[in-house]
Structures are given as C-alpha cells and as structure tokens.
Amino acid sequence: MSAGEDDIKHARFDQARAADVIRNIRPDDPLALFRPDTLARTAQTFRRGFPGHVSYAVKANPAPEILKELASVGVTTFDVASVAEMRAARLADPAARLHYHNPIRSLSEIAEAKSLGIASWSVDRLSELNKLGPVPAGTEIAVRLSLKRGGGAYDFGSKFGASPNEATELLRTVAKRGLTPAMTFHPGTQCTDPSSWADYIAACAGIAQAAGVRLASLNVGGGFPASGDLVPSQLHVIFAAIERAVATHFPADPPHIWCEPGRAMVADSVWLLLRVKARSGQTLYLNDGLYGALGEWRDMPVPERQVALTPTGQPVTGSDVAFTIFGPTCDSLDRVPGVWDLPEDTNEGDYILLTGAGAYSLALVTGFNGYGTRDFATLQSFRDRAGQHPHGG
C-alpha cells in the first residue's frame, strides 16, 4: 500500500471516530481531535527522510499530548522561543535537548533559560550576543541569517536575521570568544521552493569561509509545506535538495545538520470540530472564529478541508454552496476571510470538521468574550480497533 493510500485509510477511520465523538458527546464548544497515529507517521517521515537531525518547533502546537507523543517516537529535541515552551518540553521529556532560537530575549528570560539548560542559542546582532553574559566555554551559538528572499507564504526574515556581512562579523566574534560557531535560518512558512534551502546553505558556507571558522552545526529551519496531497513527495524533493547542497558546499567535514519543523510536523495531527450556532441566509455563525482557533485565517487559509456533519455524525447533504463564516464573538471583525463551500443543507446544530488544523490553531486562542477552548479528544488509535471510547487526553 502506498503512503497516499495509507493516509486515506487512516483519514476515513478517523472521520468515523469523529462521528462517534459527535454521537456520544455532542460537544457544544470547539473540540480538537488529536490523531496520534498521524503525528507518529509524520515524525517518522522527517526522521527517516531528512538528511540530519530533527527537532520540533514548539510554537506550532505546545499541547502536552503533542509533545509527549513526539518524545515517545524519538523526537527529543525542541526549538523553544520562551521559558514557558522550555518548561513544556521538559515536562514531556525531562532530558530533552533545547534550542533557544528566538534571538531576542530579556535578561530574566536568559537567566531562567540558563537554569533550564540550553544546548544551542541563536543571535542575529552583537548586542544580543553580549546580553547572554557569561556562558560556559564551547557553548553553541547559532548566528541567524536572513537573505531577504521570497519562497514562503510569508517572510520570516523581515523580523529576525543578520545580513551576510553582519553574520560574517558575528560568527567571527563567536569563535574569538571561545564559543562554538553555528548558523541557522528560516526560508519562510509553507515554502515549496527547494532552491530556498539550497541558496541559504550556500550562503552559510560562504559566510563561514569568510569568517575563517568551521561550523559545528547548521540548522536549516522549518518552513516545510504542510498542506495538500503532494506534501510527502514535496518533502522528499526538499530533503534531497538540502542533502545535495550540503554535499556541494561542505564537501569536507560538514556540520551537523538540523531542521526544526513546526507546522509540517503537526498540521494534520489535529482536526478541529466546530458547531454551527445559527444560520441566516448564506451566513453561518460558528462557535469559534478569528479570536479562537481560526486566528491564522487572517493571514492564510489553513485547514485542508471542511466537512459538514449532522448531530448524528452523518454527512450533511446537498450541493456545495458558498457560505460567509462568522465567529461567536460580538466583534464584526470576527469574520473568516473568503467563503467556505459547504453543503446547502448545512444548518444550526450541525458540525464542521476542519482537517489539517494542528498548527497554530489552539496556540492562538485568546478567550475574548469568553469564547475559545483548547479541549482535546484523542481519537482511537488505528492500531487498536478494540473499541475504546474515543474521548480522552
């Protein structure tokens, strides 16, 4: 059975389990449906296919269920951007390796991070390197590079990242201080252009040569695509491009290669179950919206599909029509951009199942107007058909 056929089989099984949740629980609040088998398979795709070491960017989804499952399948290095994320990673795996690659930090954050143990720090300017204060000799410092190039759905280089000239001087300073030089970059979210990674790797090699240092590690960031039927093949094309670029630009004594997927790791591991509060014409009012788990829809549509289900878990009938979608708050801005194509019979009390909703959904819930939940239900494992009740976690 091909990977695509296997994914379809698991999706059908999980949709049946989602229908069980509807029939047995009738949730009136938004509910995240965790798919542990899918997360485990995605983690293995990265661990087996990526030509280096794999970490997970906690920001994409810091839920304990996610972190514990990743640790259980061998992803025990976590890219953390805050003390809270460090603590979450440590709870999932007390021996976790932590990469603190948010390059802007307060002095109190630095102090707490040191107490929690950091394997790699990133910097993109001298002032932030100096702010770290005394660190043990040999501590890994990854200089973050930005080439100001496109390729992703939005650019991660507009906020962080040194220019090539700045990175060269910073890398040279890291080495002079007796610290371990490394580099990191991020090609931009949902990047489908393998040449983005190749160009960054080439630039990092040139910067290291100009600085006269050997890189101990090179972190190629996240940004891997996480939606669409072609994702598995796209990932392998990107992995191959990274491997070729490293071999070309670091032909002798290459650095340790790391990646830090967030969205691509968890997007399809969580589905979101929402309920229709009311219908008026071709407008649906849901129990969640832009102030809740749909917050990222302001920037781009995230879930792959919207499936309408009745209160008995059956598919809603009728031809698809365009619906305007509002969230539950009293704010008129709480409207999902664009329209959703849903069966024309979709009505109050029905459910909308959003697939591919594992990344940045629950992490963005605000609680505005008293709405927004982070409740989890773990779907029964495909490996265990014995008949456990699907609610858990």
Tell me the mean pLDDT in the region 230-236: 77
Residue-level pLDDT at 299:
81
What is the pTM assigned to this prediction?
0.91
Residue 238 CA to residue 248 CA, distance in Å, equals 15
Q: Is the pLDDT higher at 213 or at 392?
A: 213
The pLDDT confidence band at residue 390, using thresholds 50, 70 and 90, is very low
Give helix 36-49 / helix 3-25 axis angle, nearest 10°.
160
Does residue 155 surpass a pLDDT of 70? no
Give the least confident one: 102-111, 118-127, 193-202, 229-238: 229-238
- What is residue 339's DSSP assignment? -
Element (H, E) at 285: strand 283-286
**Average pLDDT of the chain, as a whole number:** 91
Does residue 244 surpass a pLDDT of 50? yes
The C-alpha angle 354, 355, 361, rounded to 5 degrees, equals 70
Residue-level pLDDT at 14:
86
| Domains by residue range for the chain, with CATH | 3-34+267-378 (2.40.37.10), 101-261 (3.20.20.10)
Does residue 373 surpass a pLDDT of 70? yes
Residue 354 CA to residue 274 CA, distance in Å, equals 8
Does residue 80 surpass a pLDDT of 70? yes
Q: Is the pLDDT higher at 151 or at 133?
A: 133
Does residue 66 surpass a pLDDT of 60? yes
Length of the chain: 393
Q: What is the pLDDT of residues 166-196, one digit of tens each?
A: 999 999 999 999 999 999 999 988 888 999 9
Does residue 152 surpass a pLDDT of 80? no
Residue-level pLDDT at 388:
44
Residue-level pLDDT at 247:
98
The pLDDT confidence band at residue 230, using thresholds 50, 70 and 90, is low
Per the structure block, which two tokens stand in for 337?
Answer: 């951009």
